[in-house]
Structure 1
Amino acid sequence: MKKNYYQKLAFMGMLLIILFTFQKYTSKEKEDFSDVKFVSESTTPLSLSEFEPNDLDQKQWQNLGFTEKQIATILNYKKVVGGRFTSKEQFKKCYAVSPEKFKELESYILLPETNKEAKSSHFKSFEKKSINISGKFNPDHYSANDWVKMGFSERQAEAILKYKSYLGGNFVSKEKFKECFIINDENYEKLEPYLILPTKTPENFKNFARNFTSRKSKVQYHSFDPNTLNIDGWKAFGFSEKQANTIVNYRDRNLKGSFKNLEDIQKCFVISAEKFEELRPYIKLNPSNLAKIDEKKFEIRQEKTDFSKIDLNSITFKQLLEFGMDERAAGSIIGFRKKLGGFVNKDQILTTYNIDKDLTQKLLTIAPLNTSNVPKYTLVDAPEEWLKNHPYFKYSADKIIFYRISERDEKKIWKLLKVKPEYEARMKLYLK
């Protein structure tokens, strides 16, 4: 009996040990989310703008009101679904995002509604674009169209302009520009060297913003003819002196003295979409004024330039304006030509930033191109300064200078450079 008793006792003990071990093992496989707090309504209101959840870093998720643990959960979930969120439907399933939080963010998320829509070509616009920067620029002067040309989506461009409006009509400093929610750290690092803005925010910025807001609210609109309005008149509608000068110059130079219709006014890049909507009900284009202005300009206008005789490598800024280009387009063409040392073929002109391609193509079909004065060198004897400053060579300049110390055969230098065929073809345009 004693033997049977001890055997049963030992058997029960072994059974209990096995059960405890099994329970402990299975509990490890289950993730413990007891300390995960689901996002609920925040006590402090968030300043929301459109965003692409695949582009956000940890800091930007924090700006949306998520905790560090929730952010880690979201990023892990993104890895689980293949490294990218493809739709709002998929993002909603992330368990660190409560239904209330998703409802708050939904209208700002730059993703298609469902996975089906994500596969359709209609949503290709959500793919990440690279940022293209032509040179130094003042973001205060950029319109939505300019931001789109740079590589942002239309909705992102609108969000940037809304943020500028929120700051009081200008970005103030690089610090404030960096705080724009839609511009992530990666894009800011690319843009920062080209921004024509003070590095630091002025200490009196808050007072300035408050004064700007109160000034803005005091603007009183009345019916007006934009073709007879002078600089003071535009300033009375809330524009700065610089903006007012730009509007008058745009009207008198680019449009040859008058706005013909509402679209002409809307295209002026210092008049934002929001400002145009405010002005629209009060704009009264008087046909009689239009006729007088056109007649006066016709009298003043002297002999027109014969563009069929103007070399594209010597055409001036004023002649480009006369052809119908705006100041930004004309400046871009002249600046690009100067950096290159001259155009070698007409296709290069079409790659210039900020131009109206249809109008430029029209000019290219009329005007000739003389390339005889364009400087050309070999890879072996090209001046170092020329290599480092030329748009087509500057990224390979250091390698060229290094390789040609010991190698004089150009074919071997090309093999060592290992540049893409299209880049090599572009560089060879300026080589003997």
Structure 2
Amino acid sequence: MIRKSDYQKMAFMVMLLTILLAYQKYTSREREPFPEVKFVLNTSPSARISDFDPNTLNGAQWQELGFSEKQVSTILKYKDIVGGIFTSKEQLKKCYAISDEKFSELEHFILLPETMKKVSFSSGVSEKKAITISRKFNPDHSSKADWVQMGFSEKQADAILKYKNYLGGSFLSKEKFRECFIISSENYNRLESYLLLPLKAPENSKNKVNIRYYTFDPNQMDVNGWRSLGFSEKQAMTIVNYRDRNLHGSFKSLEEIQKCFVISAEKFEELKPYMKLQPVSTINGEMRQEKTDFSTADLNTLTFKQLLEFGLDEKSAGSIIGFRKKLGGFVNKQQILDTYNIDKELVQKLISIAQLDTSGVPKYSLTDAPEEWLKNHPYFKYSADKIIFYRITYPDDRKIWKYLKLKPEYETRMKLYIP
């Protein structure tokens, strides 16, 4: 049997052992290691990018580099404009959507040469010639060979002659000649004193440029309509007053139009194939339009009043007239059904009855189309800048279509107005 004193000794030993263990643990304890140091990395785009080829990046990847959606759109458009591929850092830097600061940030990662390498062809290309002129000359009379002899390349000579044709066959003035995109300011300064041209184009020459005739009813033409045919404002007002005052509001025959003194015999002959008079009748001494025979009517010359006569409301009639004017005329009847804000059921009935004469609708190749026409035509205006750029380097419609990379439906629609 264990005595009380033995319990006390045992308790004392346990206490002593506990104290020794605690002391040993305290004296032998090592310092805890410092927590691992983690550095906060720079989260800017330049900290995350690696070497890249800008020709392979899509919109999302450009945005990952820190550009806004609008900037990316501009960069991709610029890429298309320069031919669909960036050839050097120098070229990429010229994109105004990329600031100098941003370009410096990306420059070392861009997998492109610093500058575009000059390509030498096996046939041998002569170095750029200086423009040389020995006498005064009229550029209207210069041939392709003459321009080449001055120092322009054959492509540049072709472009100069095309620009002259675009102006109507004459440069008209030094001012117009200077606007030729292929002639640099430096070259113009060399040529200027030798040009046998007036400083500015004569006022009466403005209406002779780029006139495109179309089928029209002289009784429906206002002042602006006659001006679009090449007449001055004063001449147009004279024609309208002659019709409305002298002839009581209507030409009854082409001979009456020919008698208007501001329409020369030469101009009348030019307009004659395009003039179509709708028949009129006199009721109580007042000129009235006869009821329209829509089976023989032309959808490209129907007037606002005739569309109302058919049963269309003013909104539908106005939309058709407005869209037709922007297009320069309809080429197929489906276009009329594509017009906004019309009564399609009634218009379907109209186009099933009426005729469509497309002979007066202006059509151009991509290389020859006037810039103003491209920028205003509903089918071409969104691609106008690209067309104008590409045709400088590639004066070939097939190549321009290739570089435009349009959706098939857009290309099909545009080709309605290509001869």
Normalised TM-score (structure 1): 0.32
Normalised TM-score (structure 2): 0.33
- Higher helix fraction: Structure 1 or Structure 2? 1
Q: Could you say which structure has the larger radius of gyration?
A: 2
